[in-house]
Amino acid sequence: MPSLRERLPRAAWVRPDNLHVTLKFAGRRPEALVPELTDALRAAAAGVEPFDLVLEGVGAFPSLERPRVLWLGARDQGAAHASVLARRVDAACAQFDVPKESRAFRAHVTLARVRDARERPVDGPTPSDLSLVSRRLTSSWTVPVGEIALMRSDLERTGSRYTVLARCALGEPRHG
C-alpha cells in the first residue's frame, strides 16, 4: 500500500521541526502585550506539574471520511494533563480579550492539512485507507512536557515559521 504521503500528494505536510501541540491560538496581539501575557502564562504553567505526553494513533478532523487535518493523537494521563493545561492557558488568555474556546480541547500534533477535498486525486486515500493506517500504526512516542512556549507564527510561502517569544516552565513557583 502506498504511504499516506504518496496518497495525499497535494496535502501540506508539516515540516518535522514545526511539529507541536497547540494549546491556544491567540491570533494577532500587540507586541507590547508580550510581557503581561508571559506573566499570565507563567502563572498558568506553574499550576501544572511536568508530565509525559504519549502520542499514537492517526486521526482526522472533521472525520476520516472527510479529512481536512491529519493528526497524531495523545492518550492516557498525558492527554488529561494537556487538557488541564489548555484550560488554564485559555483562562489566562481571556484576560487579554482572546475569546474562550467553545470546543473541547483534544491534544494532537497536526501532521498535514488536506487543502481542498475537491482537488484530491481520484486515487487519493479513501476513508478505509485512513482507518487502516490508524489501526496499523502501533508505534507510540513519549514526549516529556516540561514547559509551554508563547509563539509567534509567520506564514511564508514554504509554510509557517515559528518564533519563541517566551518559555514558561511547568510546576515552578511564580517569581516576582
Give the per-residue SS3 of the chain: CCCHHHHCCCCEECCHHHCCCCCCCCCCCCHHHHHHHHHHHHHHHHCCCCEEEEEEEEEEEECCCCEEEEEEEEEHHHHHHHHHHHHHHHHHHHCCCCCCCCCCCCCEEEEEECCCHHHCCCCCCCHHHHHHHHHHCCCCEEEEECEEEEEEEEEECCEEEEEEEEEEECCCCCCC
Please list the pLDDT of the chain residue by residue as tens digits (176 residues): 567 777 777 788 898 999 999 999 998 899 999 999 999 999 999 999 999 999 988 888 888 777 888 899 998 999 999 999 999 999 999 999 999 999 999 999 999 888 765 444 445 555 555 555 555 555 788 999 999 999 999 988 877 889 999 999 999 775 55
Can you tell me the distance from the alpha carbon of 2 to that of 5, in angstroms, rounded to the nearest whole number?
Answer: 8
Give residue 64's pLDDT.
Answer: 76
The active-site residue out of 7, 81, 88, 108 is 108
CATH number (3.40.50.1000, 3.90.1140.10, 3.20.20.140, 3.90.1210.10) of 4-169 reads 3.90.1140.10
Contact 128, 63 (CB under 8 A): no
Contact 92, 41 (CB under 8 A): yes
**Strand pairing of 141-145 and 147-156?**
unpaired
The active-site residue out of 15, 20, 100, 174 is 20
Domain segments of the chain: what residues? 4-169
In the residue annotation, 20 being an active-site residue is answered as: yes
- For the chain, give the number of residues: 176
Q: What is the pTM of this model?
A: 0.83
In the residue annotation, 108 being an active-site residue is answered as: yes
Give residue 119's pLDDT.
Answer: 42
